[in-house]
A = this chain, B = another copy of it.
Amino acid sequence: MKAKLTVIKIGGEIINNSEKLDSFLSDFSRLDEPKILIHGGGKIATALSAKLGIETRMHEGRRITSKENLDVVTMVYAGLINKNITASLQSRECNAIGLSGADANTILASKRPLKPTDYGFVGDIQSINSKVIDTFIENQMVPIFSAICHDGKGLLLNTNADTIATEIAIAMSAKYDTELIYCFDKKGVLMDVNDEDSVVENINTEGYRNLREQNVIHDGMLPKMENAFHALNNNVSKVMIGNTNFIKNRTEAHTLLTL
């Protein structure tokens, strides 16, 4: 039987709220090992860009990463947020090691093609170095990934944190019975976005198709769901979506995804 591995991704909403982040890190440190955390960046990068007079350009709701933006997210994600999370976990007896995809060549990405839209310094994941990630785990370290990858040619690339979590979970599934949790500010997928008690507890492939047709799942939730089913189709054992309460207590409401 394979050993269990928990892969958790936390979004900007948690990082923006220091009380919530603190409480999450406390819960995360108490989870059984092995485990891996992937974090996004949140508003800090946007706020820093604004202070520095750097424009944040968007195309169809997606951020364009200029060279100046890349420097800001490298500073904020891989520096400020990653090292503070790591230090905080270390104080909770969790042997965290903060990483970007460049570190020990853990995640190789390629710069997204300029056509049809030039998103700038944005990376699409090429490969996950599961062997080296496992070296950390086997040496009792807990990898904490910021959403910065590299192209192997010296370039850092801004990469979607949900996608990193998904691809890491898939890669680690060869050795581990892997559970993937997308943790954000809602209790799960909601039938009514304004009603926190309308959590859809189970979604399978067919249910997903129906919810999409009913327009219950749209916008930002769509790529998350695509990632989730991509993980399930590639040997990840279990995929869940929930908020921080669910990390503390697994009986709390959440959405469980199955094929």
Residues of chain A whose beta carbon lies under 8 Å from any beta carbon of chain B: 51-52, 71, 74-80, 82-84, 86-88, 90-91, 95-100, 102-105, 132, 135-136, 139, 141, 148, 150, 152-156
CB distance from A209 to the nearest CB of B (A): 40
**A79 CB contact (under 8 Å) in B76, B90, B153:** B76
Residue in chain B with minimal CB distance to A53: B51
Residue in chain B with minimal CB distance to A91: B154
A interface secondary structure, majority: helix
Return chain B residues, CB-CB under 8 Å to A135.
Answer: 139
Which 10 pairs of residues, A with B, have the shortest CB-CB distance? A79-B79, A75-B75, A91-B154, A75-B79, A87-B102, A97-B104, A87-B150, A78-B79, A86-B102, A97-B103
Return chain B residues, CB-CB under 8 Å to A99.
Answer: 97, 103
Return chain B residues, CB-CB under 8 Å to A87.
Answer: 102, 150, 154-156
CB distance from A37 to the nearest CB of B (A): 13
Please tell me if the beta carbons of B79 and A80 are within 8 angstroms of each other in the complex: yes
11 contacts between A and B (CB under 8 A): A51-B51, A75-B75, A76-B79, A83-B102, A83-B156, A86-B100, A88-B154, A90-B152, A90-B154, A96-B102, A104-B136
In the bound assembly, the distance between CA atoms of A79 and B100 in angstroms comes to 9
Please tell me if the beta carbons of B80 and A71 are within 8 angstroms of each other in the complex: yes
Please tell me if the beta carbons of A98 and B96 are within 8 angstroms of each other in the complex: no
Please tell me if the beta carbons of A102 and B78 are within 8 angstroms of each other in the complex: no
Please tell me if the beta carbons of B78 and A100 are within 8 angstroms of each other in the complex: no
Return chain B residues, CB-CB under 8 Å to A156.
Answer: 83-84, 87
Please tell me if the beta carbons of A141 and B74 are within 8 angstroms of each other in the complex: no
Return chain B residues, CB-CB under 8 Å to A141.
Answer: 104, 132
In the bound assembly, the distance between CA atoms of A243 and B103 in angstroms comes to 27
CB distance from A208 to the nearest CB of B (A): 36
**A83 CB contact (under 8 Å) in B74, B95, B104, B139:** B74
Please tell me if the beta carbons of A98 and B91 are within 8 angstroms of each other in the complex: no
Return chain B residues, CB-CB under 8 Å to A103.
Answer: 83, 86, 96-99
